[in-house]
Amino acid sequence: MNEYDSSRMLDLMQDAYGMKLVANPEDADVILMNTCSIREKAEDKVYSELGRYRKLKEKRPDMIIGVGGCVGQQEGKRIQQRAPYVDAVFGPQSYHKLPEMINKIRRERVNVTATEMPEIEKFDHLPAPKGNGMSGFVTIMEGCDKFCTFCVVPYTRGSELSRPVEDVLEECRKLLATGITEISLLGQNVNAYRGLAADEDEWDFTMLLYAVAKLEGLERLRFSTSHPMEVTEEMAAAFGDLPVLMPYLHLPVQSGSDVILKAMHRGHARDDYFPLIESLRKHCPDIALSSDFIVGYPGETDEDFEQTLDLVRRVNYDFSYCFKYSPRPGTPAAQSEDNIPEEVKDERLQRLLALTRLQTREAMNKQIGRVVNVLVEKESKTDGEMQGRTADYRIVHFEGQPRQIGQTMPVRITKAYGQSLRGELILA
């Protein structure tokens, strides 16, 4: 979502001022930092990065420096108290005000802060998305009402708000008109989507999926992130039903222990999760699945952690994202003592990574010999090579040409690495 927000900020700056993206901060008239506070010491990283920009600004006092995103939202004016050379601080719900803020800074040479959380009016003030040639993101809802105890999102992004159906469809149509073929629907909990349709009916996420899937020019549809509590049978069935809906789902479970799931306020038990996986695999046998995991949540015992390993073994994920718990300011969990020693967190993380990397590697190995459709995204770091993604979201490298960017091409997989694949183009 931050990448989406950054690209919308760029659209906005292009529209308002004809600004362009530059490769080096030294060459910029405006530096905007989009920040994330989901894990670890996000604020510290922001201040150390800002220290570098301060030096640039000393040489070029006209430079405007802005800090946006969730750290901006959480820290607000405190950022300018600590770093007075920061001209603008704004949250994820206020970046549509950037032109207004920048005008004010230029006119009055004052610092501005915008961290209020208006209704979802932001989207009415953003220019049409420009797309990047092959794929685009569309935010369908923002915020979260789940209040998992470890998570800052409900505080930084606010409560769940869904965009009206027609706004979402119109943004998708505009993106498709730029020639892109892949759309990813975004939200902190996309499947909590409850959007108003033109006839005032409320649509749920599956209804929206079916409508987007019908749009002309769309070849690949994805979405992220889903909450297990809001997975319905209809949503699982859509994976079997809609050819454009790509067979990959990120369905974070965080822990395999009932005690920890309850403490985390996740809203479901361990045994509620397996039937969802079964149903998804029933409707779409080749679906690739991934999850997030937190180790070392306050009070997590060895037995709790074993339950997580056991769940991972039972589900057998294609990809996993594993994190050590870190207390986030203002969250309920931060009031409990962060009582799992760092060495224990480290050891659990390593054990979990060993297991999940093995699963990823095995799933990758199974791809060898298959012919898959790859949407070509960019040149790889290796000369003469291109990189793209399969329907089930695996990265593939192959010998190719930059003019293939944006095309979907058949590739035979010849080799598997830990996180990616190699293949050969099949030329007609």
* Residues near ligand 5AD, by CB under 6 A: 38-39, 150-151, 252, 254, 292, 294, 323, 325-326, 328
Please say which residue, 1 or 65, places its beta carbon nearer to ligand 5AD.
1
Residue 267 three-state SS: coil
d(CA 328, CA 147): 13
Of 248, 253, 308, 297, nearest to 275 (Cα)?
A: 253
Residues paired with 292 in a beta bridge = 321
Cα 422 from chain centroid (whole Å):
25
Please provide the DSSP assignment of 273-302 as one string.
Answer: HHHHHHHHHHH-TT-EEEEEEEE--TT--H
Work out which of 12, 32, 151, 263 binds ligand SF4, going by CB under 6 A. Answer: 151
Asked if residues 237 and 266 have their Cβ atoms less than 8 Å apart, the reply is no
Quick one: tokens of 302? 């060895």
Please say which residue, 150 or 398, places its beta carbon nearer to ligand SF4.
150
Does residue 328 bind ligand SF4 (CB under 6 A)?
Answer: no
Q: How many CA atoms lie within 13 A of 88 on its CB side?
A: 28
Work out which of 32, 141, 144, 413 binds ligand SF4, going by CB under 6 A. Answer: 144
Please say which residue, 146 or 415, places its beta carbon nearer to ligand SF4.
146
d(CA 10, CA 12): 5
Work out which of 189, 206, 226, 408 binds ligand SF4, going by CB under 6 A. Answer: 189
Please say which residue, 12 or 153, places its beta carbon nearer to ligand SF4.
153
d(CA 34, CA 53): 14
Sign of CA dihedral 385, 404, 428, 416: positive
Segment near ligand SF4 (CB under 6 A), from 75-83, 142-150, 342-350, 351-359? Answer: 142-150
Q: Which does 227 bind (CB under 5 to 8 A by kind): ligand 5AD, ligand SF4, none?
A: ligand SF4
Work out which of 42, 148, 161, 287 binds ligand SF4, going by CB under 6 A. Answer: 148
Please say which residue, 74 or 380, places its beta carbon nearer to ligand SF4.
74
Segment near ligand SF4 (CB under 6 A), from 66-74, 144-152, 162-170, 406-414? Answer: 144-152
Interaction with ligand SF4 in 207-266: which residues (CB under 6 A)?
227
Residues in binding contact with ligand SF4, number by CB under 6 A: 10
Cα 79 from chain centroid (whole Å):
25
Q: Which does 229 bind (CB under 5 to 8 A by kind): ligand 5AD, ligand SF4, none?
A: none
Residue found under tokens 């080096």:
24
Does residue 147 bind ligand SF4 (CB under 6 A)?
Answer: yes
Binding site for ligand SF4 (CB under 6 A): 144, 146-148, 151, 153-154, 188-189, 227
